Amino acid sequence: MDLFMTFIGQMISAFFIAHITFIIFSRQRKIPMIILFVWMFLALLEGLQGLLYGLPFLDFALYFMVRVLPLIFAILLFLSVTGGLPRIKLSRRKRIKPIKDEIITVRRDKEMLFYAALASVLIAIPAYLLIDDFLRYVIPVISIFVVFLSIYYVRKLEKVRQECIVLLIGRAKERIYLKTIDQKTRRLGVKDFYSNDLYIVDPIGVAVILRSDMTIEKHHLFWIATGDSVDMSKESFVRKESLPYQDSLDDFEKYHFRIMHFKVSRRGQTTRTKNLLIR
């Protein structure tokens, strides 16, 4: 029973740290996968050293099951949760998952980073007190790394002075409406900011604008691709003639989601610095 609990504890700890790192690095799997593989390599290396110095094979097998196998399962679990496992192709028609139309605000991101740092500390303390081998130091070091990353990204998020919803209407996005998001808001769905059920509102991306004073403005873009004259008189949006990234609006496409970064100079000139196709 003790071995089983140790196995589960090791697997959950590794998965949790990897998933927190995955969230911090904008849902990129590369960094957390490197952490997991290095962690697994160090655990395996210690077991092999013991085997070379005369450790009985049965003891090595037990060590492998308790220290290395949980990390393998953690890697598989992480890949499964984040969509990194290869899928078997079937002859049936694939269903494309819809893009989420929910807005996760900067306030919510800050809270998640705070919880990540807190959870890392809560994992590190019992790991240092209860584990006897080298993992006693590896887990706290990784946890401290996650804490510092959380602090770093919170400081970056502090530069975001304004978040807005940009609603584009028309087949050529000819009408532009803007609404500022309250800083206390954690998340928003389409029904929270647009009340007309007659039209489909598609999320198409995020525009991150770096101003000359080094503050950031974040725009969440939505599109009603219709030729109708949509009545906006009852909606709490402000009509805009143009946006700083007006020339890049055509790159935001229906059924795709992009994150674009722009830099605005003191003279008002806009330069696109990043263009990431998320889906």
Report helix, strand or coil for 165: strand
The answer to whether 160 touches 107, Cβ cutoff 8 Å, is: no
Q: What share of the chain is helix, strand, coil (3-state, %, to 5)?
A: 45, 20, 35
Domain identity same for 105 and 151: yes
Number of domains, the chain: 2
Q: Are residues 45 and 63 in the same domain?
A: yes
Give dist(CA 131, CA 43) in Å, integer: 13
Tell me the two tokens of residue 15. Answer: 């998965």
Rounded CA-CA distance 159/208 in Å is 11
- Residues 73 and 130 placed together within one structural domain of the fold: yes
Q: Does residue 55 lie in a domain region? A: yes
For the stretch 118-175, pLDDT in tens is 877 777 776 666 666 666 676 677 778 778 878 888 888 889 999 999 999 999 999 9
Judgement on whether residues 13 and 125 belong to the same structural domain of the protein: yes
| CA gap 221, 241 in Å, rounded | 15
Paired tokens of 81 = 């949760």
Is residue 91 a part of any domain in this protein? no
Residue 220 lies in a domain: yes
Phi, psi torsion values for 272, nearest 5 degrees:
-80, 125
pLDDT of residue 90: 46
Q: Is residue 269 part of a domain?
A: yes
- What pLDDT, on a 0 to 100 scale, did the predictor assign at position 127? 64
Q: Is residue 151 part of a domain?
A: yes
Q: Alpha helix locations (H) across 25-102?
A: 30-52, 57-63, 69-82
pLDDT in tens, the chain (279 residues): 456 666 776 777 777 777 777 776 667 778 888 888 887 888 788 778 777 777 777 777 777 777 788 888 888 888 887 776 655 444 455 455 566 778 888 888 888 888 777 877 777 776 666 666 666 676 677 778 778 878 888 888 889 999 999 999 999 999 999 999 998 888 888 888 988 888 889 999 999 999 988 899 999 999 999 888 888 888 889 999 989 999 999 899 888 889 999 999 888 898 999 888 877
Helices 135-157/106-130 angle, 10° precision:
160
Which of 120, 141, 157 corresponds to the end of one domain?
157
Nearest alpha carbon to residue 18 among 30, 5, 4: 30
Q: How far apart are CA 43 and CA 7, in angstroms?
A: 13
Residue bearing tokens 């909606």: 235
> Of 157, 173, 194, which marks where a domain is finished?
157
Q: Which domain holds residue 148?
A: 2-86+96-157
Q: Are residues 58 and 131 in the same domain?
A: yes
Whether residue 11 is found in the same domain as residue 110: yes
Indicate if 8 and 71 belong to the same structural domain.
Answer: yes
- Domain with 189 in it: what CATH number? 3.90.79
Q: Which of 104, 130, 157 is the last residue of a domain?
A: 157
Q: Both 147 and 173 in a single domain?
A: no
Strands (E), the chain: 103-104, 160-169, 175-180, 187-188, 202-210, 216-224, 238-240, 258-264, 270-277
Quote the pLDDT of residue 179: 93
